[in-house]
Amino acid sequence: MADMFYMPMNRRKFIQTSLGALGAAVTIGVTDGLLAEENKKPVTRWAFLADTHIPADVNNNFRGFYPYRNLPKVTSGIISAAPDGAVVTGDLARLAGKLDDYTNLKKLLEPLAEKSPVFMALGNHDDRRNFYKVFKTTPGEKQAIKNKHVIVINKPPIRMIILDSLLFVNKVPGLLGKTQRDWLADYLKNSDNTPTILCVHHTLGDTDDCLLDVPRLFKIIGPVPKVKAVVYGHSHAYSFSQWKGIQLINLPAVAYNFRDTEPLGWVEAELTAQGGKFKLHAIAGNKEKDQSVIKLKWRT
């Protein structure tokens, strides 16, 4: 079968003062569907998922969850939804990014990849070299950034940029790094004003298990109105928040949760130039919010 996958600023102080009461700032609404006038606007439909943690051993489990069994439940739902594409925001592999982890991941993703392109970010449990050995080609516009897997996706009316926060394999913190940050600043400066969503693995908090250079990322994207949202995983939690009008969307994990209060599953998104509608599809864990919809408005 052909391959279808195609010092520093004080981080803690910056985040505490700039994000403040992060959760309280977000303006979200729950709706059963798009308003009639929104149905007339150009829209692209996407599946967002995170933290698949596919193991070499298909019977590997954690907290009673089996990642190898969970992913087909998710991909089946995505195939039925028939989106324009799917984005997996990192921690593709179980722990250390073994070659057989990716072999199993590719096998499980192929039914979906036959229907919709699958774009993947790398997280702290991934190994870039082993990933490329299995996924020799990937969809999207790959950017020439040394030792980073960065992809640009143009799907009007939205542009998405897949960033690479992998720092060390099987160590928790993440880092974009200066080269990638410089590329991002330059790309945003020279690209058109298409509404842009960034996708990255690590959470945007102020602890040492998050993205270490998040203040520098925010310094780049804060003054650029076309950056509308950041989608990420890593925490195995589902939440929405906001920073200076930029929507921050924390995806639930596919593999397992860390707390019984969190769902496992994926998020179906309808994206327009004005905002997005996000529906949770919970396959396990806390399914209380299954099928719930959050509607977000992009900043202007």
pLDDT over threshold 90, residue 259: yes
pLDDT over threshold 80, residue 1: no
pLDDT at 27: 35
The answer to the question of residue 180 being in a domain is yes
Mean pLDDT of 287-297: 98
Over residues 132-159, the pLDDT tens digits come to: 999 999 999 999 999 999 999 999 999 9
pLDDT at 292: 98
pLDDT at 191: 98
Round to whole Å and give the CA distance between 10 and 215. 8
CA nearest 126: which of 71, 89, 152? 89
pLDDT at 12: 53
pLDDT at 4: 52
The answer to the question of residue 125 being in a domain is yes
- Give percent of the chain with pLDDT exceeding 70: 87
The answer to the question of residue 4 being in a domain is no
Number of domains in the chain: 1
Round to whole Å and give the CA distance between 195 and 191. 11
The answer to the question of residue 131 being in a domain is yes
Question: Which residues, at least 6 apart from 45, have a Cβ–Cβ distance to it below 8 Å?
Answer: 81, 82, 83, 84, 268, 269, 270, 271
* Confidence band of 75 (pLDDT split at 50, 70, 90): very high
pLDDT at 266: 98
The answer to the question of residue 31 being in a domain is yes
| Selected residue with higher pLDDT from 81 and 34 | 81
The answer to the question of residue 103 being in a domain is yes
Residue type present at position 276:
G
With b for 16 or more beta-carbon neighbours within 10 A and e for fewer, the 146-175 pattern comes to: eebbbbbbebeebbbbbbbbbbebeeeebb
Round to whole Å and give the CA distance between 194 and 213. 25
| Selected residue with higher pLDDT from 52 and 1 | 52
294, 248 Cβ separation under 8 angstroms: no
For residue 95, with 0-12 CB atoms within 10 Å meaning exposed, 13-18 middle and 19 or more buried, which class applies?
middle
User: What's the domain range around 259?
Assistant: 11-297
Round to whole Å and give the CA distance between 250 and 237. 7
Beta bridge partners, 269, equal: 46, 278
The answer to the question of residue 2 being in a domain is no
CA nearest 49: which of 260, 289, 281, 205? 281
Tell me if the bond preceding 117 is cis, omega within 30° of 0.
no
Over residues 3-38, the pLDDT tens digits come to: 555 434 445 544 554 554 344 333 333 344 444 454
State the pTM of this model.
0.89
pLDDT over threshold 90, residue 190: yes
The answer to the question of residue 6 being in a domain is no
Q: What is the CATH number of the domain that holds 96?
A: 3.60.21.10
